[in-house]
Copies of this chain bind each other. A is one copy, B any other.
């Protein structure tokens, strides 16, 4: 992005805050969130979106439609709009449907969170689905400068892969949580690794969990295949 681009972050939850921390030395940032400004939020959001060259949508998927409807008529031609949801088909569809032709679009998914990126962004990956326009290439260059690995893909391929990657990790982590306290004295190295993997996502919000398990159109099929495989695996004859 040109050095004077203003960046709007709409939605200031755990991920919006992470984005702000990493971008604040590189560009002026405006933040909108119900927690930060409540009374005149719709108007403020529209104004902010109108003033910024880049708009990052970091609200939960369930709020995206209303935000898109609110900002659609205010975005200037050439504005780059980027969402950061954990699924990609549905947000991409919403942005293409609700935002005007004159804005440029990317649907992205940073494959890290506040916990895994606690020591910095370097080496972490972001899934990147360009939907419209070429202005996103400046954002790609900037992310690469920050050490991120930008993985170009499509919303469909993303959701297919994430149905396995996030769908199964969260399913397994959630199932282990439900079993209660885990043994710790007699632990094997592989079991310790397993608990480490589960622990990395057990703090994720219920909202994120719903997105990963319910809003990914391929998640149910993968989950069913895993449950069948697990039932069969249990039967070793």
Chain A residues at the B interface, C-beta cutoff of 8 Å: 111-112, 116, 124-125, 127, 151, 153, 158, 161-162, 164-166, 168-169, 171-176, 178-179, 182-183, 185-191, 193-194, 196-198, 200-201, 206, 209-210, 213-214, 220, 222-223, 225-227, 229-234, 236-237
Contacts and interface: CB of A to CB of B under 8 A. Distances in A.
Contact of A175 (B116, B162, B176, B233): B233
A178 B226 CA distance: 8
A127 B186 contact: yes
B186 A234 contact: no
A15 B191 CA distance: 19
A231 B225 CA distance: 12
Given A127-B186, A165-B186, A169-B194, A227 B234 contact: yes
Contacts of A222: 179
Q: What is the copy number of this chain in the assembly?
A: 2
Interface centre among A179, A198, A210, A222 (most CB of B within 10 A): A179
Nearest to A223: B234
A175 to B, nearest CB: 4
A233 B170 CA distance: 9
Contacts of A230: 171-172, 175, 226-227, 230
Contact of A179 (B210, B213, B225): B225
A222 to B, nearest CB: 8
19 contacts: A112-B188, A116-B189, A153-B185, A153-B186, A158-B186, A162-B186, A164-B179, A164-B182, A164-B191, A165-B183, A165-B188, A165-B191, A168-B194, A169-B188, A172-B230, A174-B229, A175-B229, A209-B236, A213-B234
A140 to B, nearest CB: 16
Contacts of A174: 229, 233
Nearest to A212: B236
Contacts of A187: 111, 125, 165
